[in-house]
Amino acid sequence: MSFELTILGLILVPLAAGIAAFIVTRFAAILAVATALLQSLFAFRLAGYVLSNGPLRYKIGGWGAPLGIDLYVDGLSALMVIMTALVGLAVATYSTSYFAIPEHGREHRSNVDIFWPLFLILWSALNALFLSADIFNLYVTLELLTLSAIALIGLAGTVKSLQAALRYLLIAMSASLFYLLGVALLYSVYGTVDWELLGAQMQFDLPDRCAIVLICVGLLLKTALFPLHFWLPAAHANAPAPASALLSGLVLKASFYVLLRMWFDVFPYADLRAVGNLLGILGAAAIVWGSVQAIRQQHLKLLVAYSTVAQIGYLFLVFSLASEPSASWNAWNGAAYFSVSHAFAKAAAFMAAGSLVFATGSAKIDDLAGIAQQQPVTVFAFALAGVGLMGLPPSGAFLSKWLLLNASLSSGKWFFTAVILLGSLLAAIYVFRVVAKSFEAGERQPTRHVPALMQWTPLVLALLSIGLGIVATRPLELLKIGAPVAIEKTP
């Protein structure tokens, strides 16, 4: 199997499977799981190619930039593809059980039928996005991603979920417009959308600055950075649990990935210190605000959703921290690794939450009293995912925070040091609110039996998020390949 087949397979196989799943609904679940397994294989192969050959470019149809469409893969994109594959595999496994439950599926037969095609198309869009080499392609894939995400949010069919989906539709569409406007502006000036060519030519006069602002605003809206997060909690909390896992774990990372690419590859030579500091401060505000809101929630899934608002904040610290050359390497790696470990932990948390909500038949945290005795595996999975959210050792998030802390100290930005540590403490409060509740003694109604896959999949994923703290050298080695020139020079 050649490199070309691998990279195309990552995009085309889920797309084809999605279409097939739409037509042959009966075998959709089997098809999705098989695709997921194949994708994991492809993803690791792709990483293997990158590790042995360095960054690779594939010209579709042999046309090449600036006319044709290029695919590009380096360490960062390969890592993102692996992250998507593993989380996707877990979500597929979980969903086979989740949607087999009458109350999630059979009663709304159409919903199940539509979940699998959406899921697979979303996957295809994610991979295409991570493998794009030009900023217009990024727009197309982002749009495809958004459309499937909107449908996933509305999948539950309740009034609340439809409202949330509609709100997300409006926000995401206007965000896309901002982004597209920025791209158009750049194209009109430089006549290319390939980011390498752009990066080499950018001048940073007025049109360029306008383009940067437009692109940033569009991406911030999609990534739900505070104070543009208002659409997120309702959207992520009202979707079915597997969909929430995808939305929080992966979809947000896609728009963040685009911003990270733009920042370090397309505008690395711009003096964006002030904008970077602003993003960093918004990130810090997100950490505090999101965590405090999470602590105040009464519903389990809303708590997890607000935790996402907080955790997204950590990612944005990189734009401020990396402006100091001495800190940029640690900051960039920390942010990239954080998005991977957060994807695992958050997807696990949402899936565990989904299982707990099913077991108790209630979305309220107070109704979890004493559930640890009856659902030990799921509670354990939630707690382990919580360790990943708190960033305590030995989780992957701990190493990311270690890198970010190092960056904040070596750049002398004490404010961020304090916020990172405070964020961990606040996360501990909201995670242990749930865990403590589940330990409460007393008589409780017997819970419903949770299918084995719905118990163990979150646990395995949570264990993976912990494991990321133990096997970090390989992924970090991968990240070095094709890392932005702007940061590569520093130790």
Question: Of the listed pieces 103-111, 160-168, 229-237, 427-435, which binds other proteins according to CB under 8 A?
Answer: 427-435
Name the minimum Å distance from CB 425 to other proteins: 6
Distances (CA, A) of 20 to 88, 122, 148, 214: 18, 14, 16, 38
**Residue 10 CB partners (closer than 8 Å, separation 6+):** 39, 42, 43, 46, 81, 127, 131
Q: Which of 421, 451, 460, 490 contacts other proteins by CB under 8 A? A: 421
DSSP 87: H
Q: Does residue 120 contact residue 15 with C-beta atoms inside 8 Å?
A: yes
Cβ closest to other proteins, residue 363 vs residue 422: 422
Cβ proximity to other proteins, 264 vs 398, nearer residue: 398
State the sign of the Cα–Cα–Cα–Cα dihedral 131, 136, 139, 141.
Answer: negative
User: Which residue lies nearer to other proteins by CB, 125 or 428?
Assistant: 428
Selected binder of other proteins within 144, 169, 387, 464 (CB under 8 A):
387
Determine, following the binding rule CB under 8 A, whether residue 372 of this chain makes contact with other proteins: yes
Backbone torsions φ then ψ of 8, nearest 5 degrees? -70, -40
Q: Does 403 bind other proteins (CB under 8 A)?
A: yes
Closest CB 395 distance from other proteins, rounded Å: 10
**226, 344, 402, 416: which one contacts other proteins (CB under 8 A)?**
402
Question: How many residues in the shown chain lie near other proteins by CB under 8 A?
Answer: 34
Q: Which is nearer to other proteins, 2 or 473 (CB)?
A: 473
Mask for 253-292, x = binds other proteins (CB under 8 A): ----------------------------------------
Tell me how crowded residue 170 is: count the other CB atoms within 10 A of its CB. 11
**Per-position DSSP letters for 372-433, written without gaps between them:** GGT-HHHHHHHHHHHHHHHT-TTSHHHHHHHHHHHHHHHTT-HHHHHHHHHHHHHHHHHHHH
417 binds other proteins (CB under 8 A): yes
Binding of residue 145 to other proteins (CB under 8 A): no
Task: In angstroms, give the least distance from the CB of 265 to other proteins.
Answer: 23
Whether residue 315 contacts residue 287, with contact meaning beta carbons closer than 8 Å, is answered with no
For residues 429, 160, 445, 245, the Cα torsion angle rounded to the nearest 10 degrees is: -60
Contact 240, 281 (CB under 8 A): no
Among 24, 173, 425, 485, binds other proteins (CB under 8 A): 425
Among 394, 415, 445, 449, binds other proteins (CB under 8 A): 394
Residue 68 is classified by DSSP as S
Q: Is 213 in the site for other proteins (CB under 8 A)?
A: no
Smallest gap from Cβ 343 to other proteins, in A, equals 19
**Number of Cβ atoms within 10 Å of the Cβ of 94:** 29
User: Which residues in the 452-491 window bind other proteins by CB under 8 A?
Assistant: 469-470, 472-473, 476
What pairs with residue 70 in β-bridges?
59
Q: Which of 163, 295, 278 is nearest to 230 (CA)?
A: 163
Least distance in Å: CB of 487 to other proteins? 14
Q: Which is nearer to other proteins, 195 or 382 (CB)?
A: 382
Q: Quick one: 108 or 433, whose CB is closer to other proteins?
A: 433
Shortest CB 473 distance to other proteins, Å: 5
Q: Is 67 in the site for other proteins (CB under 8 A)?
A: no
Q: How far is the CB of 378 from other proteins (least distance, A)?
A: 13
C-alpha 199/C-alpha 185 separation (Å) is 15
Regarding 399 and contact with other proteins (CB under 8 A), the answer is yes
Cα–Cα distances in angstroms (integers) from residue 403 to residues 78, 126, 409, 415, in the given order: 21, 26, 10, 16
Q: Given candidates 12, 16, 440, 451, which one binds other proteins under the rule CB under 8 A?
A: 440
Which tokens is 204 given?
């940073």
What's 299's DSSP letter? B
Cβ atoms 462, 344 nearer than 8 A = yes
Q: Which is nearer to other proteins, 161 or 406 (CB)?
A: 406
Select 177 or 418, whichever has its Cβ closest to other proteins: 418
Contact call for residue 436 and other proteins (CB under 8 A): yes
Minimal distance, residue 165 CB to other proteins, in Å: 37
Q: Does 381 bind other proteins (CB under 8 A)?
A: no
Q: Show the binding pattern over residues 327-366: x = contacts other proteins (CB under 8 A), - = does not.
A: ----------------------------------------
Query: Is residue 441 close enough to count as binding other proteins by CB under 8 A?
Result: yes
Q: CB-wise, 3 or 432, nearer to other proteins?
A: 432
Q: For residue 59, list its beta bridge partners.
A: 70
Q: How many residues does the chain have?
A: 491
- Asked if 54 interacts with other proteins (CB under 8 A), we say no
Please state whether the peptide bond connecting residue 233 to the residue before it is cis, i.e. omega within 30 degrees of 0.
no
The 3-state DSSP composition of the chain as helix, strand, coil percent (nearest 5) reads 80, 5, 20
Q: Which residues bind other proteins (CB under 8 A)?
A: 370, 372-373, 376, 380, 387, 390, 392-394, 399, 402-403, 405-406, 409-410, 417, 421, 424-425, 428, 432, 435-436, 439-442, 469-470, 472-473, 476
